[in-house]
Amino acid sequence: MSVAARLPWELAGSKIQEWHRDRLAVVYVRQSTMAQVIYHGESTRLQYGLSGRAAELGWEPSRVLVIDEDLGHSASGAGIRPGFQRLVSEVGLDHVGIVLGIEMSRLARSGREWHQLLELCALSGTLLGDMEGVYDPAGHNDRLLLGLKGTISEAELHLIRQRMLGGRMAKARRGELAIPLPAGFARRPSGEVILDPDEQVRAVIALVFSLYDRIGTVGGVLSCLADNRVQIGIRLREGPDRGELAWRRPSRAMVQNMLRNPAYAGIYAYGRSTSDPRKRQPGRPYSGKKRVESGQWLVLLPGVLPSYISMEQYERNMRRMDANRSRAESTGAVRDGPALLAGLVRCGRCGMKMTVRYQRGPGGVLQPSYVCGMANVTWADERCQQLAGKCVDDYVASLALQAMAPAALEVSLAAAGQEERQRAETDRIWRQRLERADYAADRARRQYQLAEPENRLVVRQLEKDWNDALAERQRLGEEHDRHLASRPRALTAAEREQIRALAADLPAVWHAGTTTDADRKQLLRHLIENVTVTVIGDSEQAGVEVTWAGGHRTTGRVTRPVATLAQLSYFPRLRERAGELSAAGYTAAQIADSLNAEGLRPPKRAETFTTSSVRDLLSALGLQHARTPASRPGLGEHEWWLRDLAARLGMSKVTLDAWVRRGWADGYLHPEARLIVVRADPAEVERLRILHETPRGQHMRRPWQQDQEAGTSIETEGSPDDEDRTRL
């Protein structure tokens, strides 16, 4: 029986008006999945057959529009349906007279979308038709019936989902639900999960976990794989080559997913992620996924799958990855900055983790500081405390070197053995790659030789495949030679001896240029759990408590740089001692030697007093340092020390020094006193005085230009140009 024979003709004819036929008749075709489109073609043919039904209801074939863009799209409302959007748009524009579908659930199973369509159809006068009849959404009875059909369709979808989810959960609880397998696993036709039969694939997976166990960061593992040109083998899940082995360049996401996947520890897990509609984005089918904590997984069955690592190692890796995150409660990953205790320092006053801040020092060198600023960030309060990082880093590093000294040789030999094992693993992977390339070339040769020579259509392609395989084998061999040249298979005798020699002098290794800050940080994190720092008041003294791995604690004090003299705990003693030495007639150099010998230090980053810092100290303390007249050598006639001439002219010595450098005044550097000497007779002194009193911008006119205009000859060599006048 045809579709037309099954529809109530009399009811349809009473609702369809001529103005309906002036519009389009839309046939909406949809199947939920591509599998239904491929394997359930009868339903698709019935839906396309509704075009004939529209013609029997009075529409011209040219006025029948078939919308089939949603074949393979679900109507549950979770995804975007371009065909449904096109249908809604046509209805809203008053282009549609009737919408035909094999059943109303084909249009929408979401109540929101269904009632939106009904409202638009009622406003535009569009009719709806299915296998049961023709409906007018503007009529009360039809609207009630259509709303009931939509509610039943939505409830039916819910029941279908519940039955499917119940079946999946029952199968998952037995560990029989086939979940996607990560790289390194394969599934037999019987459904049993096994380790990948390819030896090279298993070797690469084992190498990834051993590298992370040694390095401790995803970035470090990725860099090591990239340096050794190691690729990861995966089994294709779809396409014509489904199940075949393909080699992919490792990425950060690939390595991170491998470390997080519990399947490598033999754990069967289901429900590791859930959908969050708020995060779903249009055009991205895999968006909206949210990772679930392991305690909330729906199914967790240890020991069901074959394993590459133990459960203890998997849990240790998870804790390590969580600690590498930059959060207040974790130490964070090792970075390249010079602050050796970044992530380990705790504030002794509030107990919060102290952050690191850098500033440029002399020569552009980064100087770290440890700052406790949580109170400032959270409550806009004052910073708890801060101190320069170098003093704490040096103190903790010296303690670590002392702790490692007894086991230095043992550690060095273990490091040498670990390096050799890693090189052996990478070399084994390289040999497997070469063996695979040899097999591919040999297989291509045998295929070419077995082909009939007369069949040139086949032989030409086989010959090309053979040549490509030989070229790939040659390229891989050359790449392996370059790899061996940069990283030999084993340590040489000279390298072993060098390691043993360095083991006897750990400080030399620690301060060597080849030892990076990241290496030092990684070593300290193996030895130290945390470092608690407490600044005593606002003085230069800070208490340090080092908590070693295992719980043992070591306490001590460090001296930090401070900003002012008043912050020094020994400031009264320093002031008294500097005054005594100055009153006794000591020179600045002698005062500096005495202060340094007594263990007194300046407030800034300098470790000892110098002549200039003593002068600044005396000036800050308001003490006048006595100078002996014989401290400077004698000068010739009409020669002035720069400071004395500047005082005579009533100008700054900095300005007079600039004049000498520009050639405005005649001067030179005294070879003994290392001070500027200015040659100036009375006339020159008067000229310099007038020049100093001349307003800016008029130096080229007065006094020498006016004198030249009057006929007087004055030497003007070294007179300032326009730029120098502006600076002056």
Which residue among the candidates 2, 14, 32, 251 is catalytic per the annotation?
Answer: 32
- Please report the pLDDT score of residue 727 as a whole number: 31
* Mean of pLDDT values over 641-648: 83
What mean pLDDT do residues 624-638 have? 64
Q: Is 32 a catalytic residue?
A: yes
Q: How far is CA 256 from CA 29, 164, 196, 216, 229, in A?
A: 43, 31, 20, 12, 18
Identify the residue whose tokens are 């150099």: 589
Q: Is the pLDDT of residue 318 over 50?
A: yes
Q: What is the pLDDT of residue 9?
A: 42
Band of residue 628 on the pLDDT scale cut at 50, 70, 90: very low
Q: What pLDDT was estimated at residue 279?
A: 57
Question: What average pLDDT does range 608-615 have in this prediction?
Answer: 81
Average pLDDT for 120-128:
91
Q: What is the pLDDT of residue 705?
A: 40
And the tokens for 452?
């009939």
Choose between 87 and 6: higher pLDDT: 87
Burial of 727 (0-12, 13-18, 19+ CB in 10 A): exposed
CATH numeric code, 185-323: 3.90.1750.20
Does residue 209 carry a pLDDT above 90?
yes
86 has pLDDT over 80: yes
| pLDDT average, residue stretch 643-647 | 82
- What's the pLDDT score for residue 405? 66
- 4-168 topology per CATH: Rossmann fold (3.40.50)
Express each pLDDT in 436-488 by its tens digit.
889 888 888 888 888 888 788 888 888 888 999 999 888 888 888 887 777 66
**pLDDT of 637 over the 60 cut:** yes
Would you place residue 421 in the very low, low, confident or very high pLDDT band (cuts 50, 70, 90)? Answer: confident
| 234 close to 183: Cβ distance less than 8 angstroms | yes
Segment 398-411 shows an average pLDDT of 69
pLDDT range class, residue 410, cuts 50, 70, 90: low
pLDDT in tens, 654-693: 888 888 988 889 999 888 777 889 999 999 999 988 887 7
The three-point CA angle 75-78-80 to 5° equals 75
Reported for 472-480, long-range contacts at CB under 8 A and 24+ positions apart, including other chains, are 472/437, 472/440, 472/441, 473/434, 473/437, 473/438, 473/440, 473/441, 476/433, 476/434, 476/437, 477/434, 477/437, 479/229, 480/430, 480/433, 480/434
Of 423 and 178, which is predicted with more confidence? 178
- pLDDT for 111 beyond 90: no
